[in-house]
Chains A and B, each alone.
Chain A
């Protein structure tokens, strides 16, 4: 939510500290400030208001109250604590509530207004907060919502005409009833939606969500009916969700704003309308109960200190409560009973109060208690044996991958998939590993490995059950060849069976892919007594890899006696930059007639482009020149 620093200042007689100080105070004691922006002479904060506070914090008054408590500056102009002028009750207005969604409704009739553009201060204030200026009346309703958190709505009064007066009601919509919003979109309503209706029972607004086109304020409007109402949070949330129409108003209602916001919000709106648009209040009609009774909450000093890890005294606690302005009673210097203010719906259990006290006192003042060294009293058997399997396979040259739990077609369907090819949960790891194998085959030279040997350990899903499986995939050449590849996975499986001393429950084997159930063998394996030795994860600085193709060239050299492969490799690596020669692998060594031949594979790749054949040839010329310089001979 966007909050204006200059607007916040209007709640205080004393000057606020600079915006950065206010932002830091809010971040560390209330709600995170996600962004600070200069807009004209103002500073706008983007405040991350979370659901626990949203009933009272989605407004400038709410944020100003937090600033007041945190910085210990009195809130001298609090709209919720002003005594408001009592408006005359009008018999001209009839309010009928038949929907359970609305339990409190105030309609105020104002005649003789001049609708037109808003004055600059109002337009600029709204625009600075990302709101569009519509006209002076609509702008004032939005301004008041941003001030107090209470949504308001203004109807052109003639659309409520009924006999000699005006009628407004809240009822459930009829099935299929139409509603055209202020911005012209059409909605088909359901009996679960609550609507505001006018004198002819026609739909004027979607209760708590959005006003309608028909009753909207235009330049010709001279009489208005101002609505301030309390709608039930869950019903508003469901209506907004059903019609995909979340609004500033619905967001406030679904978070449970209090009905006590209504009288001060009406008073503020009436006074602004009189100033900006003229006119006179004819009267008001209220139906329902506006009181909000909050239960008191008792918390002990030892509970506070025990949960927060602090050593507060009772006077620390009461000093903080005084800053909030809560009414409270202290018993025996050990217990305090707090009655939350009417607008706060979130203080119902001792932990809620403890949070209030802790965050304002300062979570930074919590000192850490180092943990005791203890032996975990239970070992995770699946993790233990998964680690044994990893170690065994890695020693065989296998590398571990993680792949997606989603498939394009399988047994268990996701109702709201991200994409059509991710519509199901995998029932096997095999397909994913086949795909991963195919993807890695072209990178063998780059990786400096002759064969792709992969495994994954992960969850697979049947219709009702899920289990951990292990899958291996192998391939030497660009296609699977039983003769070279089968032996690779068969040896790995034999290794595992020998290390685990059990036969594996193989569920799939073929074309270089083998899968078995880890869970099925766990029951047969002995309970481990200790985890393997703790190995710190490696100190690695990850290097992003190039997305341009790599090109391989082989070279075989006759070298003199005593020349090692390592010596040749360092000579070649110092002649071509590592940005270009990204991998150099020793392929083989053989000796014939007293001469030694060494063969190498050079892999060239650029971070910035695709190497052309001509560029590779030029790099090879550099390599040949180095070879010549050392007196080696290209075969």
Chain B
């Protein structure tokens, strides 16, 4: 079970922030989330949304294991 975290506006779109989801790959997880909630799927694919696996930004696909922390990060705005 990967632990999926949504930040910023993504958690408002989804109505949740933190969930355990069984998925073998990041690409599969994206499809699972889109199938369940089209609005969330669209938001995750939106411009500037990055993904971190175990707190490291990744591009493209990657395998997930039972303990992977998957964080979806919309454009950042600090300071």
**A and B interact physically:** no
Q: Interface residues, chain A, CB within 8 Å of chain B?
A: none
Q: Interface residues, chain B, CB within 8 Å of chain A?
A: none
